[in-house]
């Protein structure tokens, strides 16, 4: 017990004990004071024990929550040179992900995202994902609800530049429900929203002694930039002998009103371990509703600077703009 607390106890005892102020034998007054002091000391010990119990319970609760939570994120920044007209550089993306295992059947995910606009300015931080996933006991099925991206297209690419399939395939919603299940390498996902959006995928993946592979097909009734037509995708990822391939094709299931062609897009890239990093080459093509086509071709190299840090260079040629050389730094944690 601290001297300050003991002093308070003695003061309280002196002020509250009638025996201190009453007449009588000094020994009686001293005995009454000692009895009062012993009582107050016991009260303080009891209160200390209660406080310690509450502190321990709070510590266990906080420690347990932190132990079940993972924080991850990525920061991307780049500088680009377009036909000799370089840029000073910009921060392309800041993303933070908070994943928590509530219990063995329930988990949550929150993703905060800020991305650069066409002028290179970061947008306000927005909630990109806020979802809760329920694992159905004794099954391989899960149900996810909240704000998240539909499972429709894989959008996998090893290139610095996004695949052309991303423009129409990056479908998301503010509120949705997704049912996913899988068994022995097969997976099926169904997703829908209250305003009528729907998406579905089926996939298969596995590995042998020399190869890893996955194949997927998907459909949505609303492409990212259209509420009037849907579309489908087929994709594949194969890796063997240090070489990987991503390929995907997307096509609208009908023409947008007033258009003469169905929208489509394709992407393929190859990458291989080379020296201390990974070299890659890729090609993509897209056709809009009027029939005009755009293609992109690029080569580049990823160099690891340590765990979670990658420096990438890409040279890109496209029919819709000038050649672009990009140097990008990505930090993941």
Asked if pLDDT for residue 24 goes beyond 70, the answer is no
Both 227 and 263 in one domain: the answer is yes
The 3 state secondary structure assigned to the chain is CCHHHHHHHHHHHHHHCHHHHCCCCHHHHHHHHHHHHHHHHHHHHHHHHHHHHHHHHHHHHHHHHHHCEEEEEEEEEEEEEECCEECCCEEEEEEEEEEEEEECCEEEEEEEEEEECCCCCECCCEEEEEEEEEECCCCCCEEEEEEEECCCCCCCCCCCCCCCCHHHHCCEEEEEEEEEEEECCEEEEEEEECCCCEEEEEEEEEECCCEEEEEEEEEECCCCCCCCCCEEEEEEEEEECCEEEEEEEEEECCCCCCCCCCCEEEEEEEEEEECCEEEEEEEEEEECCCCCEEEEEEEEEEEEEECCEEEEEEEEEECCEEEEEEEEEEEEC
Average pLDDT, rounded, for the chain: 85
Both 205 and 250 in one domain: the answer is yes
* Number of domains composing the chain: 2
Q: Is residue 223 part of a domain?
A: yes
Residue range(s) defining the domain that contains residue 108? 72-332
Domain final position from 14, 36, 60:
60
Both 313 and 211 in one domain: the answer is yes
With bands split at pLDDT 50, 70 and 90, how would you rate the model's confidence at 89? confident
Both 27 and 95 in one domain: the answer is no
Both 171 and 261 in one domain: the answer is yes
pTM metric for this prediction: 0.74
Average pLDDT over residues 299-324: 91
Both 46 and 194 in one domain: the answer is no
Q: Which residue has the higher pLDDT, 287 or 58?
A: 287
Asked if pLDDT for residue 21 goes beyond 50, the answer is no
With bands split at pLDDT 50, 70 and 90, how would you rate the model's confidence at 20? very low
Both 157 and 286 in one domain: the answer is yes
Q: Is residue 67 part of a domain?
A: no
């Amino acid at each position: 017990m601290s001297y300050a607390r003991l002093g308070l106890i003695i003061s309280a005892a002196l002020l509250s004990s009638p025996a201190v102020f009453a007449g009588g034998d000094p020994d009686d007054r001293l005995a009454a004071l000692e009895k009062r002091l012993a009582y107050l000391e016991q009260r303080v010990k009891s209160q200390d024990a209660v406080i310690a119990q509450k502190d321990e319970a709070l510590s266990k609760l906080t420690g347990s929550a932190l132990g079940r939570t993972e924080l991850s994120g990525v920061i991307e920044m780049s500088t680009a040179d377009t036909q000799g007209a370089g840029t000073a550089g910009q921060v392309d993306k800041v993303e933070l992900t908070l994943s928590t295992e509530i219990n063995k059947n329930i988990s949550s995910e929150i993703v905060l995202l800020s991305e650069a606009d066409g002028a290179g300015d970061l947008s306000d931080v927005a909630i990109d994902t806020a979802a809760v996933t329920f694992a159905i006991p004794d099954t391989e099925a899960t149900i996810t609800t909240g704000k998240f991206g539909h499972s429709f297209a894989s959008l996998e690419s090893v290139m610095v530049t996004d695949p052309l399939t991303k423009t129409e395939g990056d479908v998301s919603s503010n509120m949705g429900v997704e049912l996913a299940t899988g068994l022995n390498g097969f997976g099926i996902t169904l997703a829908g929203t209250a305003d009528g959006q729907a998406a579905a995928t089926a996939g298969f993946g596995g590995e042998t002694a020399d190869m890893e592979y996955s194949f997927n097909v998907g459909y949505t009734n609303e492409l990212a930039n259209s509420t009037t037509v849907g579309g489908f995708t087929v994709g594949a990822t194969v890796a063997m002998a240090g070489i990987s391939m991503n390929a995907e094709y997307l096509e609208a299931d009908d023409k947008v009103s007033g258009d003469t062609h169905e929208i489509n897009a394709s992407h393929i890239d190859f990458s291989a371990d080379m020296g201390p990093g990974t070299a890659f080459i890729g090609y993509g093509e897209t056709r809009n509703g009027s029939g005009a086509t755009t293609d992109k071709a690029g080569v580049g190299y990823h160099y690891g600077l340590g765990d979670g840090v990658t420096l990438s260079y890409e040279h890109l040629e496209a029919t819709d703009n000038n050649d672009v050389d990009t140097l990008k730094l990505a930090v993941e944690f």
